[in-house]
């Protein structure tokens, strides 16, 4: 059996706990993995002077596969998201986020099987921002008045939303190929082209062109606000949904809510030859160090990683073991209980114990 070397970034907040749980169950599948563990985030700033040090990026580039826990970004303090920067730095242009119902999950919805493909490098998350009052911002405001004939208030902050033909083409081609490889039937392009004609309008136009290259997959589009309502009312109509960065961020949490919450939503940041797996959820700081967070989203990200590595039987077994623990309903964290204070909820590490035990009961050929 081939040995895989994988970069593991434990993350901060609940990251180290959910990462340890995921690593344990991935190892328990028997797949031979050498872990290169590297810290990143605000906690390493003092030591390395930056939140994503070069040696961590080098490790990911060398190994081409990584799994990471969440990293905290303080709100509105001028510190850019390390997560967003990592995706841009490694050009991980597509973030695949499957949202799937597992039997036994407490949710208003059942039989959900949706996939969001989020463009990961452009849009309002491109990180091109101009702070209120700075001289570059005032210059830009003058330029906009001159070029667009539209005066902006001088005390405005400005975020730039670039969406390119290149970026849109490659994420849609990726999504259509992903749909074919994974036996899906339909791709929906999500946009707000009625309002943003030169960004979302371009997105829709390019999506329609790319769709013609894939006649075997059904194609349609939805305006993002309508999409949000439709996902709540009739999610069964949708399959693979492709959206720019910001809408993808928001609707990922909506879809996670359909399948039982953030504790169950995994993800795969994918580029041409590098993939970084991570849960949709953040660092949930209030639960850090309490052995409380649900590690299943991180474990399910591990399932995606195993399949990406070509270890599909191990990935299927791990998913089966997680599904068995959910169905059995005893060894689950607080967020999966009807009452969040339910004293029978178990901790992060006990979920890992239960998944390892379930794996041991599962036939290796499953």
Closest CA to 221 of 213, 210, 232: 210
Residue with smaller CB distance to ligand NAD, 185 or 286: 286
Decide: is 252 part of the binding site for ligand NAD (CB under 6 A).
no
Q: Which of 274, 293, 304, 322 binds ligand NAD (CB under 6 A)?
A: 293
The tokens for 113 are 């099987």
Phi/psi at 49 (nearest 5 deg)?
80, 0
The burial class, CB within 10 Å (0-12 / 13-18 / 19+), for 62 is exposed
Segment contacting ligand NAD (CB under 6 A): 98-106, 132-140, 179-187, 279-287?
279-287
CB of 205 to ligand NAD, least distance (A): 30
CB of 121 to ligand NAD, least distance (A): 15
DSSP-derived secondary structure letter, 341: T
Decide: is 263 part of the binding site for ligand NAD (CB under 6 A).
yes
| Near ligand NAD in 20-79, by CB under 6 A | 70-73
Terminal CA-CA length for the chain? 17
Catalytic annotation, residues: 125, 192, 225, 249
Asked whether the CA dihedral 294, 296, 297, 299 is positive or negative, the reply is positive
Question: Whose CB is nearest to ligand NAD?
Answer: 282
Decide: is 335 part of the binding site for ligand NAD (CB under 6 A).
yes
Decide: is 120 part of the binding site for ligand NAD (CB under 6 A).
no
**What is the Cα–Cα distance from 42 to 49, expressed in whole angstroms?**
10
Segment contacting ligand NAD (CB under 6 A): 93-101, 116-124, 142-150, 280-288?
280-288
Residue with smaller CB distance to ligand NAD, 192 or 281: 281
Decide: is 278 part of the binding site for ligand NAD (CB under 6 A).
yes
Torsion of CA 242, 248, 250, 252, to 10 degrees: 70
Distances (CA, A) of 267 to 182, 195, 262, 281, 325: 15, 29, 11, 10, 20
Q: What is the DSSP string of 279-336?
A: -SS---GGGTTTT-S--HHHHHHHHHHHHHTT-HHHHHHHHHHHHHHHHH-SS--GGG
Residue with smaller CB distance to ligand NAD, 203 or 287: 287
Decide: is 301 part of the binding site for ligand NAD (CB under 6 A).
no
Q: Which of 83, 269, 270, 301 binds ligand NAD (CB under 6 A)?
A: 83
CA neighbours within 13 Å on the CB side: how many for 19? 27
Segment contacting ligand NAD (CB under 6 A): 27-35, 161-169, 230-238, 285-293?
285-293
Decide: is 283 part of the binding site for ligand NAD (CB under 6 A).
yes
* Residues at the site binding ligand NAD, with contacts judged by CB under 6 A: 14, 18, 70-73, 83, 262-263, 278, 281-284, 286-287, 293-294, 297, 333, 335
């Amino acid at each position: 059996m081939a040995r895989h070397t994988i970069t593991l970034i434990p993350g901060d907040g609940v990251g180290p706990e959910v990462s340890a749980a995921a690593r344990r169950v991935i190892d328990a599948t028997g797949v031979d993995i050498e872990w290169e563990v590297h810290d990143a985030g605000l906690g390493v700033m003092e030591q390395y002077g930056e939140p994503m040090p070069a040696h961590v990026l080098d490790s990911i580039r060398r190994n081409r596969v990584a799994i990471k826990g969440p990293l905290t970004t303080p709100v509105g303090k001028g510190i850019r998201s390390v997560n967003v920067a990592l995706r841009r730095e490694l050009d991980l242009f597509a973030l695949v986020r499957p949202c799937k119902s597992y039997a036994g999950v407490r949710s208003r919805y059942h039989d959900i099987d949706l996939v969001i493909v989020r463009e990961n490098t452009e849009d309002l998350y491109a990180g091109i921002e101009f702070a209120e009052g700075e001289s570059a911002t005032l210059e830009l405001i003058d330029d906009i008045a001159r070029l667009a004939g539209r005066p902006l208030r001088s005390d405005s902050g400005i975020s730039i939303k670039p969406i390119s033909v290149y970026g849109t083409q490659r994420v849609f081609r990726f999504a259509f190929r992903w749909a074919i490889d994974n036996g899906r039937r339909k791709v929906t392009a999500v946009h707000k082209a009625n309002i943003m004609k030169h960004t979302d309008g371009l997105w829709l136009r390019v999506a329609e062109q790319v769709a013609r290259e894939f006649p075997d997959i059904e194609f349609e589009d939805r305006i993002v606000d309508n999409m949000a309502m439709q996902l709540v009312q009739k999610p069964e109509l949708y399959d693979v949904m492709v959206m720019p960065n910001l809408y993808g961020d928001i609707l990922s949490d909506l879809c996670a809510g359909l399948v039982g919450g953030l504790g169950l939503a995994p993800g795969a940041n994918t580029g041409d030859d590098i993939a970084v797996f991570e849960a949709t959820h953040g660092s949930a700081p209030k639960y850090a160090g309490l052995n409380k967070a649900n590690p299943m989203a991180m474990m399910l990200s591990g399932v995606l990683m195993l399949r990406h590595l070509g270890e599909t039987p191990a990935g299927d077994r791990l998913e089966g073991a997680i599904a068995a623990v959910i169905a059995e309903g005893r060894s689950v964290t607080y967020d999966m209980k009807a009452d969040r204070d339910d004293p029978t909820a178990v901790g992060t590490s006990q979920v890992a114990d239960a998944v390892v035990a379930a794996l041991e009961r599962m036939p290796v050929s499953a």
